[in-house]
């Protein structure tokens, strides 16, 4: 995070920060709602495997279960750290 971001964050009123954080977490929890109970556990295990090879943050991995016609599709996306394919 650059110094500008830092200053900007500091000037942002607490209520605005609360709203932004809630917007993200609520959207994430809604997306996972109704999904099978094993999803969070599976997400953690996958994360552990990925982390053996690349160092990613806990929130860099996103799992979605989506209904595509007849099928349920498990969608997994991992945001890799900038400029680093591996370490």
Point out which span in 8-16, 44-52, 57-65, 74-82 binds other proteins (CB under 8 A): 8-16
- How far apart are CB 75 and other proteins at their closest, in Å? 21
List 2, 34, 83, 86, residue binding other proteins (CB under 8 A): 34
List 6, 7, 9, 26, residue binding other proteins (CB under 8 A): 26
List 6, 7, 9, 21, residue binding other proteins (CB under 8 A): 21
Q: Please state, as a whole number, how many other Cβ atoms lie within 10 Å of the Cβ of residue 81.
A: 13
Residue with tokens 């709203």: 19
Which CB sits closer to other proteins, 28 or 78? Answer: 28
Q: What is the 3-state secondary structure (H, E, C) of the chain?
A: CCHHHHHHHHHCCHHHHHHHHHHHHHHHHHHHCCCCCCHHHHHHHHHHHHHHHCCCCHHHEEEEEEEECCEEEEEEEECCCCCCCCC
Binding site for other proteins (CB under 8 A): 13-16, 18-19, 21-23, 25-26, 29-30, 33-34
């Amino acid at each position: 995070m650059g110094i500008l971001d830092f200053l900007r964050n500091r000037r942002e009123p607490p209520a605005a920060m609360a709203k932004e954080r809630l917007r993200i977490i609520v959207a994430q929890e809604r997306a996972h709602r109704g999904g099978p109970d094993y999803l969070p556990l599976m997400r953690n295990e996958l994360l552990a495997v990925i982390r053996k090879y690349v160092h990613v943050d806990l929130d860099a991995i996103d799992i979605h279960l989506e209904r595509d016609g007849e099928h349920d599709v498990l969608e997994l996306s991992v945001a890799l750290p900038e400029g680093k394919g591996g370490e």
